[in-house]
Structure 1
Amino acid sequence: MQFQFANQGLTWSDAYFLAQGLLNTVRLAAAATLVGTLAGIALGWIRTVSVTARIATAPFVDILRSVPMLIQLILANSFLSILGFGTSPFWFGTVALGAWMSAVTAEVVRAALLSVPVQYRKSARSLGMNRFQELVYISMPLAFRTGLTPWIGLVLSLIKDSALAGVVGYIEYMRSTQVLITRTHETWLLLLGAGLLYFIICYPVSRYSRLLERKVLV
Structure 2
Amino acid sequence: MDQTISFFSGFTIKDVWFLGEAALRTLWTSVLSISIGTALGVIFGWLLHEGRILAALTLAPVLDIFRSVPLIIQLVLFYNFAPIVGLNLDPFWSGVVILTIYTAALVANVARGGIEAVGRPMRRAARSLGMSYWQDMRHVVLPIGGRAVFPAWVGVALGVMKDSALVSVLGYVELLKASQILITRTQEPFLILSLAGAFYFALSFPISRYAAKLEKRWAQ
Normalising to structure 1: TM-score of the pair?
Answer: 0.92
Partner of 1:20: 21
Shift of 1:84: 4.8
Provide the identity percentage: 38
Partners of 2:51 and 2:210 lie apart in 1 by 35
Partner amino acid, structure 2, of 1:141: P
User: Which whole-Å deviations, capped at 9, do the CAs of 1:157-190 have from their partners, x for residues lacking one?
Assistant: 0110010011112110110000111111111110
User: Which whole-Å deviations, capped at 9, do the CAs of 1:79-110 have from their partners, x for residues lacking one?
Assistant: 11444531122221111101111111111000
Shift of 1:8: 6.7
Partner of 1:30: 31
| CA gap 1:216/1:187 in 2 versus in 1, 3 angstroms | same
Alignment of structure 1 residues 199-214 onto 2, 5 Å: 199-214=201-216
RMSD value, Cα: 1.5
Partner of 2:152: 150
Aligned residues: 212
Shift of 1:61: 1.2
Partner of 2:45: 44
2:194 to 192, 195, 199: 192
1:110 to 112, 123, 128: 112
Partner of 2:161: 159
Alignment of structure 1 residues 62-101 onto 2, 5 Å: 62-101=64-103
Secondary structure of 1:106's counterpart equals: helix
Partners of 2:88 and 2:18 lie apart in 1 by 25
Secondary structure of 2:31's counterpart equals: helix
User: Which whole-Å deviations, capped at 9, do the CAs of 1:122-158 have from their partners, x for residues lacking one?
Assistant: 1111122121111111111110111100000011101
Secondary structure of 1:128's counterpart equals: coil
Partners of 1:85 and 1:107 lie apart in 2 by 29
Answer yes or no: is the 8 Å Cα contact 1:93–1:165 preserved in 2. Answer: yes
Partners of 1:153 and 1:46 lie apart in 2 by 22
Answer yes or no: is the 8 Å Cα contact 1:10–1:184 preserved in 2. Answer: yes
Name structure 2 gaps, 5 residues minimum: 1-7
Name structure 1 gaps, 5 residues minimum: 1-6
Partner amino acid, structure 2, of 1:113: I
Partners of 1:212 and 1:55 lie apart in 2 by 37
Partners of 1:83 and 1:12 lie apart in 2 by 44
Partner of 1:169: 171
User: After alignment, is 21-30 or 120-129 more displaced?
Assistant: 120-129
1:182 to 162, 181, 184: 184
Partners of 2:85 and 2:144 lie apart in 1 by 45
Partners of 2:154 and 2:178 lie apart in 1 by 26
Normalising to structure 2: TM-score of the pair?
Answer: 0.91
Partner of 1:3: none
Partner of 2:136: 134
